[in-house]
Amino acid sequence: MEITIPRLIIASYKGKNGKTTATLALSYALIRAGLKVSLFKVGPDYIDPSYHLAVTNTLSRNLDYVLMGDKVISRFYKYSLNSDIAIVEGVSGLYDSIDGISEVGSTAQIAKLLKAPIVLVINGERINRTVRAIIRGLKDFDSDVRIAGAVVTNVNQRQLEKLRIAVEDEGLIFLGYIPRNDDLESIMQYRHLGLIHAEEINKQRLIEVFKDVSKFIDIDKVVRVAREYSEPLEVRNYVSLDTSKIISNEVRVGILGGRVFTFYYPETIERIQTFTNNIKFIDPEVDQELGDLDLLLIGGGFPEVYGESLERNRSLKSDIRRFIDSGKHLYAECGGLMYLTDSIIYNNEEYEMVGAIDAITIMHRKPMWYGYARARVIRDSVIGDAGTVLMGHEFHYSSLILRGNYEFVIKYERGVGIHGFDGFQINNAYAHYLHIHPDTYDVIGRMLRRILINKARS
């Protein structure tokens, strides 16, 4: 089976150069031209895909070789099927990798696996002729990586012509530019984990901004580069997953969300939907109770930013404690773990949280861990039997001061967690710092199967 869909990898020579901005501008312009676009993000990121969805109304999928291996090819095929063009946003610099030595985890690796051309994003601020050296070095570094075009971001009209000439003199096709834009800078702002999540900003304003900046993209050239430089790609052992079959609507699942807990992969929701359509989204700032649930999910997010409103909602926090005490199943990651502790200290303020885990969460100015993690389950638990290996990622600026005695469930082989350990299990509730993609290890499916077995026995 061959993939022939035209495709582009949006990459740059370092992070924070405008890859997301360029991805959104190209994607919006393509959709406005009547093309069906599929969107992807290299790596495990939650935040950039939230902008893809907000601007294009298209779910974006992660392509992560570290977590998924060669399955990235079949994932690409599955989620680009029936599209006119696929746009893949890269991560960090083009050749930056998990260890800084090999290509594993890099945008370049994904580009080679997908046989896709690179569109190089160039930050046009305070640079002109040096761009030629950058392009030449990137092209020469790995001849199997095909850099075909370029988009210049953050550029004024005085610099634009110089940069266009530099790009074209190095053999790249100039695909357009994104002018320096105050509205763009004001709405796409950074927080400690990267861009502020799109769920927390004015989406209509965001769309209006990209409606404006996408006018500077040459769609005809973009499509031509994608068509002419994408090579046929063979897909082996592809199995189409039927996500329409419902096992049991008796299972009731709650997902804590709103603007606080936003770190959920689309596949997590889709995996739940193979078990049940009985799904309830709960806003932890507003909703007063969980309702009748069998499983509660609390994903990552920024509970520290919304500490005041979370503290005020004592009714929901009390209901979550009751839910845990009753033996119902709960799964929480990172921000969800922080929410389950006694309190969060952030910017010299302390906010009362759920209190299911006897610990205080402290926010720091520097990350405790920022990247891929590997852990091993060291005792039988609701998430896996002893010996199970978990691959995921940790992105957190917090640490825990434990006040209770806990027997941890997992031990890190790469990563930090809580002094090298992690995983709190209270009855059938489980929480840890680690983020796990469901196509790497199906924690949610395991819990739902446990619930169904228990229901069948009762």
334 is known as an active-site residue: yes
CA–centroid distance for 142 within its chain? 27
Tokens of 319: 């209901």
Tokens of 70: 């060669």
Q: Which of 47, 119, 330, 334 is catalytic?
A: 334
The DSSP letter of residue 230 is: P
The DSSP bridge pattern shows strands 173-179 and 398-402 to be unpaired
Q: Is 37 left (phi over 0), alpha (psi -120 to 50) or beta?
A: beta
The residue written with tokens 């700032």 in the block is: 285
Q: How far lies 143's CA from each of 98, 224, 228, 231, 274, in Å? A: 21, 21, 18, 15, 43
Tokens of 324: 């845990």
Tokens of 201: 């900003």
Tokens of 74: 């079949």
H or E stretch including 398? strand 398-402
Per-position b or e across 350-378, b if 16+ CB within 10 A of its CB: ebebbebbebbbbbeeeebbeebbbbebb
In the sheet where 329-333 sits, what is the strand order? 279-282, 253-256, 295-298, 329-333, 429-432, 424-426
Contact of 67 with 81, CB cutoff 8 Å: no
The DSSP letter of residue 110 is: H
Dist CA 254 CA 256 (whole Å) = 7
Dist CA 409 CA 385 (whole Å) = 10
Contacts 24+ apart (CB under 8 A), 440-446: 440/67, 440/68, 440/391, 440/392, 441/384, 441/388, 441/390, 441/391, 441/392, 442/271, 443/331, 443/383, 443/384, 444/268, 444/271, 444/272, 444/295, 444/297, 444/331, 445/271, 445/275, 446/382, 446/383, 446/384
SS3 452: helix
Catalytic residues: 334
